[in-house]
Amino acid sequence: MRSDRDATPSHACRMRHGILDGVGTLVLFGGRSEIGVATAARLAAGRHVVLAARRPDDLAAESTTMTAAGAASVHRVAFDADDVESHPELIASIVRDHGPIDIAIVAFGILGDARRAETDATHALQIAHTDYYAQISVMTPLAVALRAQRSGTIIAFSSVAGVRVRRANYVYGSTKAGLDGFASGLADALHGSGASLLLARPGFVIGEMTRELMDSGVSPAPFAVTADQVADAVAKAYRKGRGEVWIPGVLRPMFFGMRLLPRALWRRLPR
Ligand SMILES: NC(=O)c1ccc[n+]([C@@H]2O[C@H](COP(=O)([O-])OP(=O)(O)OC[C@H]3O[C@@H](n4cnc5c(N)ncnc54)[C@H](OP(=O)(O)O)[C@@H]3O)[C@@H](O)[C@H]2O)c1
């Protein structure tokens, strides 16, 4: 349940009901993320967009996408998810320079090499650092800023990989399980503050992140979707004021059932 639904009508509420549609600032952490860019494009119209990414000078295509989507302005800032010390000041500077954050899309992440992560602790820790530790590092100061504004929505990307962790990608899956728990708790903590969090749980997405996997011969999981399908569902959920969205929706009952599968069967699933 979205936290701002029962609160005093906030900036975020009024935005969603069209009273202030198309104003405010949208920040995309992971400014080159395929899912992040597709989602931001659906919400950019009339908003000031800040693309936060490594190599901020190399965001021409993403900037053009935002302008074509009707963004009021597009800005680029340097952002390294792994440089956790820098996050509080980065978020404070975005608010100082561009005003209150209306939507923060947190879409950075790495899939990593699942096989390598089973034996190479450095690689496993790298996945955990970017996909869990750094997510907390970004979302915590974001929540502080949104609480102070009494408005704004964080859009976080979990995955069905974290709903019940599979043998085939248990390092990545475990980071998503942790992130999912963190984001769910944060959504509850924001309840009544005027700020909110929308948690997206996509299944397998055919795209940039999974390209290497598919090139190695792994075929997409059942009910695979594209980044555009994820973005459509997330933008719709945002506009409806929802707190969670599964993409596609059928994965919700499916994973409810999968949670009940005996371990002996679960561990034999190929992926
Ligand atoms: N694709 C899927 O199958 C799938 C399924 C469920 C959930 N998700 C989640 O959805 C989110 C978006 O995924 P996606 O498919 O859009 O992936 P993507 O296209 O591979 O984008 C991931 C982005 O994360 C950025 N990133 C990685 N490490 C970073 C760091 N240290 N600092 C700053 N940026 C960093 C990358 O930046 P660079 O361009 O600089 O490398 C890249 O632009 C991720 O959290 C992912 O786990 C994806």
Which pLDDT score is estimated for 8? 33
DSSP per position, the chain: --GGGGSSP-HHHHHHTTSSTT-SEEEEESTT-HHHHHHHHHH-TTSEEEEEESSTTS-HHHHHHHHHTT-SEEEEEE--TT-GGGHHHHHHHHHHHH-SEEEEEE-------HHHHTT-HHHHHHHHIIIIIHHHHHHHHHHHHHHHHT--EEEEE--GGGTS--GGGHHHHHHHHHHHHHHHHHHHHHTTSS-EEEEEEE--EESHHHHHHHHTTPPPPTT-EEHHHHHHHHHHHHHTT-SEEEESTTHHHHHHHHTTS-HHHHTT---
CA of residue 29 to ligand 1 center, whole Å: 10
Which pLDDT score is estimated for 74? 98
Q: What percent of the chain has pLDDT over 70?
A: 92
Which of 130, 107, 110 is CA-nearest to residue 198? 107
Which pLDDT score is estimated for 248? 97
More confident residue, 64 or 19: 64
CA of residue 205 to ligand 1 center, whole Å: 11
Confidence check: pLDDT of 58 > 60: yes
Q: What is the pLDDT of residues 78-94, one digit of tens each?
A: 999 999 999 999 999 99
Confidence check: pLDDT of 270 > 90: no
Q: What is the pLDDT of residues 128-159, one digit of tens each?
A: 999 999 999 999 999 999 999 999 999 999 99
More confident residue, 196 or 8: 196
Place of tokens 């599979």: 166
CA of residue 14 to ligand 1 center, whole Å: 31
Mean pLDDT of 26-51: 98
- For residue 50, list its beta bridge partners: 27, 75
Which pLDDT score is estimated for 219? 87
- Residues 210 and 127: their CA atoms lie apart, in Å, by 15
Mean pLDDT of 86-112: 98
Catalytic residue among 133, 170, 172, 238: 172
Cis, peptide link before residue 248, omega less than 30° from 0 = yes
Query: Which residue owns the Cα nearest ligand 1 atom 31?
Result: 81
Measured CA to CA in angstroms, residue 118 lies from 69, 123, 167, 170 at distances of 42, 9, 10, 9
**Ligand 1 atom closest to 55 (CA):** 40
- Residues 253 and 271: their CA atoms lie apart, in Å, by 19
Is 133 a residue of the active site?
no
Query: Which residue owns the Cα nearest ligand 1 atom 21?
Result: 33
Q: Is 55 exposed, middle or buried (CB count within 10 Å of its CB: 0-12, 13-18, 19+)?
A: exposed
Query: Which residue owns the Cα nearest ligand 1 atom 10?
Result: 157
Confidence check: pLDDT of 11 > 90: no
Our CA angle for 190, 234, 140, nearest 5°, is 30
* Residue 234 in contact with ligand 1 by CB distance below 6 A: no
Confidence check: pLDDT of 229 > 70: yes
Across the chain, mean pLDDT equals 92
Mean pLDDT of 179-201: 98
* Residue 35 in contact with ligand 1 by CB distance below 6 A: yes
- Residues 115 and 182: their CA atoms lie apart, in Å, by 26
Q: What is the pLDDT of residues 20-30, one digit of tens each?
A: 455 799 999 99
Which pLDDT score is estimated for 222? 87
Which pLDDT score is estimated for 190? 98
